[in-house]
Amino acid sequence: MRISTKLTGFYVAVLAVFCVLTVALLSQLQAVSRGYDALLNSPVRQMDEARVLQVDFKKQVQEWKDILLRGHNSEDLAKYTEQFHDKEQQVRAEAKALTSELEDQETRQLLEQFTAAHLILSQKYQQGYQAYVAGKADFKAADKVVRGQDRPPTDLFDKAVQRLETQVKESVEAQREAVLWNLNLALGVAGGLLLVLGMVGFFIVRDIRSRVARLKAVSDRLAKADISGLVIDISGADEIAEFGESMKGVHAAIEELLMMASAHAAG
Amino acid sequence: MGARLVGFYEQAAKELGVPGRMKLAMLTGIPSLAAETQPDSAENIKKFEQALSQLRQMPKS
């Protein structure tokens, strides 16, 4: 193969490897970005929504306690009752929305159980409220009806949140491992290709240098007219071999000239 | 061995003189002494014929 072909081929190979690596790295980057987008759009978002729901439920319970504490004043009673019902509706709507988004069957079941428990709790709150109003701010009677009733939904929801937390951690870990694997793959492929290119380049350069060195040795001997026993054997089909063939012509011409000079001197 | 090749050298000397012999050696890469030991192969004969033809077309120096 001709040197110009080898060098052009090597140059094209380097460009091709560079382009392939660039495309591969961009693809990896997009894959990582998609992975994190999926993580943020699903488990992390659900986790956030669950946290909001958890806080809203605690606020609903807080509104109930405000009713019991300050409901002796009719204005406060109306105010906290309204806020209590707002929170109650909010919690119900958020639980319904979150349940519809969940893919994990067990978490979904926990949310459904929470919704059912929350409904029962609402009925208890209603009974307690009626006892409170009937007893003219009798918080003891009201508390007796609802005491400890918020525990089951709270526990159920805590379990759901805990499960979501575990899922987020697992998803983050899986994503981190996927990124690490992709990074190692990219480094391995890039390193492998660069190694192959480096080896090919090294052998091309070594071959050219060795053949040029042989050609120079021939040229040096011809320049010194030291042609005794000179054999020009530079095989191949490249420019160096062509130059070697030219050297053979020069060598033959010098030999012919010396032979004729010897014959002339002898004759 | 090489009788026909040597004949090319004689022909070159006759037609073109000493420069012709030297240029024939240069074009073929085979000096006359080596031609004596080279086989009269079709490849060698073709090489010498082409070289001699080329020399004949060159302006005489």
- Segment A141-157, tens digit of pLDDT: 999 999 888 899 999 99
Whether A64 shows a pLDDT value over 90: the answer reads yes
Residue that terminates a domain, selected from A168, A192, A216: A192
ipTM score over 0.95, yes or no:
no
For residue B56, the distance in angstroms to the closest alpha carbon of chain A comes to 17
**Statement to judge: residues A173 and A254 lie in one domain:** no
CB contact under 8 A, A253 and B25: yes
Domain tally, chain A: 2
Inter-residue contact A257 to B22 (CB < 8 Å): yes
CB contact under 8 A, B33 and A251: no
- Segment A164-218, tens digit of pLDDT: 999 889 988 998 998 899 889 888 988 998 899 999 999 999 998 998 998 899 8
> Is A111 part of any domain?
yes
**Statement to judge: residues A8 and A125 lie in one domain:** yes
SS (H, E, C) B23-38: HHHHHHCCCHHHHHHC
> Is A197 part of any domain?
no
Question: The tokens 């140059």 sit on which residue?
Answer: A11
**Statement to judge: residues A132 and A241 lie in one domain:** no
Say which range, A49-58, A110-119, A181-190, has the weakest mean pLDDT: A181-190
pLDDT of residue A221: 87
Q: Which residues of B touch A252 (CB under 8 A)?
A: 25-26, 28-31, 34
> Is A76 part of any domain?
yes
pLDDT of residue A82: 96
A40: domain CATH number is 1.20.120
Average of per-residue pLDDT across A108-113: 94
CA dist., res. A97 & res. A53, Å (int) = 10
Residue-by-residue DSSP string for A93-109: HHHHHHHHH---HHHHH
**Statement to judge: residues A206 and A188 lie in one domain:** no
Domain tally, chain B: 1
- Rounded percentage of chain A residues whose pLDDT exceeds 90: 47
Size of interface A-B (CB pairs under 8 A): 39
**Statement to judge: residues A85 and A172 lie in one domain:** yes
Confidence of residue A59 (pLDDT cuts 50, 70, 90): very high
**Statement to judge: residues A102 and A67 lie in one domain:** yes
> Is A246 part of any domain?
yes
> Is A249 part of any domain?
yes
Q: Which residues of B touch A246 (CB under 8 A)?
A: none
Report, in angstroms and rounded to the nearest whole number, the Rg of chain B calculated over CA atoms.
Answer: 10
Whether B1 shows a pLDDT value over 80: the answer reads no
pLDDT of residue A229: 81
**Statement to judge: residues A211 and A171 lie in one domain:** no
Confidence of residue A63 (pLDDT cuts 50, 70, 90): very high
Residue of A nearest to B30 (CA): A252
Residue of B nearest to A264 (CA): B18
**Statement to judge: residues A165 and A35 lie in one domain:** yes
- Segment A66-79, tens digit of pLDDT: 999 999 999 999 99
Q: Which residues of A touch B50 (CB under 8 A)?
A: none
Short-list A56, A49, A51, A153, CA closest to A101: A49
CA dist., res. A192 & res. A204, Å (int) = 18
Q: Which residues of B touch A249 (CB under 8 A)?
A: 25-29
**In residues, how long is chain B?**
61
Average of per-residue pLDDT across A4-31: 88
Question: Which domain covers residue A237, as residue numbers?
Answer: 202-266
**Amino acid letter, A236:** G
Q: Which residues of A touch B28 (CB under 8 A)?
A: 249, 252
pLDDT of residue A124: 94
- Segment B16-50, tens digit of pLDDT: 988 999 999 999 999 998 999 999 999 999 999 99
For residue B40, the distance in angstroms to the closest alpha carbon of chain A comes to 18
Residue of A nearest to B17 (CA): A260
Residue that terminates a domain, selected from A192, A223, A258: A192
Short-list A121, A104, A122, CA closest to A160: A104
**Statement to judge: residues A154 and A253 lie in one domain:** no
pLDDT of residue A236: 81
For residue A258, the distance in angstroms to the closest alpha carbon of chain B comes to 10
pLDDT of residue B12: 93
For residue B23, the distance in angstroms to the closest alpha carbon of chain A comes to 7
Residue to mutate among A248, A250, A256, with most B CBs inside 10 A, is A256
pLDDT of residue B61: 59
Confidence of residue B60 (pLDDT cuts 50, 70, 90): low
- Segment A233-255, tens digit of pLDDT: 888 888 888 888 888 898 999 88
**Statement to judge: residues A183 and A255 lie in one domain:** no
Question: Which domain covers residue B45, as residue numbers?
Answer: 3-57
For residue A26, the distance in angstroms to the closest alpha carbon of chain B comes to 58
- Segment A227-238, tens digit of pLDDT: 888 888 888 888
> Is A68 part of any domain?
yes
Please tell me which residue, A80 or B60, carries the higher pLDDT value.
A80
